[in-house]
Amino acid sequence: MSSIQTNKFSGKTAIVTGGGSGLGRAMAERFAAEGAEVVITGRHEEILAEVAKTSDKISYLVGDMTKDEDVAALADYVKDKFGRLDILVNNAGWCPVVPIQEVTMENYDQAFNLDVRAVVNLTVKTLPLLIKARGTIINLSSTGATNVAPNLSLYCGAKAAIENFTRGWAMDLAKDGVRVNAIAPGAFKTNIWNVTDLDEEAAKAHEAGIVNSIPLKRMGDPREVAALASYLASDDAAYITGSIYKITGGLGQ
């Protein structure tokens, strides 16, 4: 794990969507520890409030990123409270597990509204602030964008779109000094593993099977994604844009 520099992002402001748990929480806490003012968003106030208690640098706004009015409210909140935005982390997402034989258009709308449309919407809404600050955008993709698994076609398709948006936006925004990159995680130890229809024994067997397929023989720690996000948002990565960073323990290479 890389060391935390407490003044690395002093004077800067970040948004982390889906910042109440998992990778989003780890990234929010990392940016705050390194001096940034961090605004997290999600649908459940009690979860967001718990994260905000960990640092006086973290504030929150309850919102559903699939709703236009909530996206606009988040952009306005950051503009009114801080007057700037240096780091946008598009992290919120949803992973439907369903084979194409059973997919409904409701499944499609749920997946693409959050995983794709919301990302485009928030990016467009906050772009004036990002351009003014010559900031950086970090999109969360997935190893599934290039290593497709059964029953995950909607998720993998959505994340493939995110990777191409990342590349396209990097080209569009280079002249404005805004860098755009994506992080593509593999299997990480987050609360998503508790959301399952399997009993405890079957869930453990399922997780063991996944770990066995990873060359490094372990799941990732969310703090490892946070460390990568910290690097990509920093001046150390000033010449990096349009890149997709896999962080998978060797899975899918």
What residues does each domain of the chain span?
13-247
pLDDT in tens, 127-155: 999 999 999 999 999 998 998 888 889 99
Q: Are 218 and 177 in contact (CB under 8 A)?
A: no
Cβ(104)–Cβ(153) under 8 Å? no
User: Which of 36-45, 153-162, 194-203, 241-250 is least confident?
Assistant: 194-203
Task: Note the pLDDT tens digit of each residue in 151-171.
Answer: 889 999 999 999 999 999 999
* Helix locations, the chain, DSSP H: 22-33, 45-52, 68-82, 105-112, 118-133, 153-173, 200-213, 222-233
Pick the CATH number of 13-247 from 3.30.365.10, 3.40.720.10, 3.30.2290.10, 3.40.50.720: 3.40.50.720
Distance in angstroms (rounded) separating the CA atoms of residues 143 and 156: 8
Say whether pLDDT at 100 is over 60: yes
Query: Is 77 an active-site residue?
Result: no
* Candidate list 60, 155, 239, 245, residue with the active-site label: 155
The sign one gets for the Cα dihedral 162, 167, 171, 177 is positive
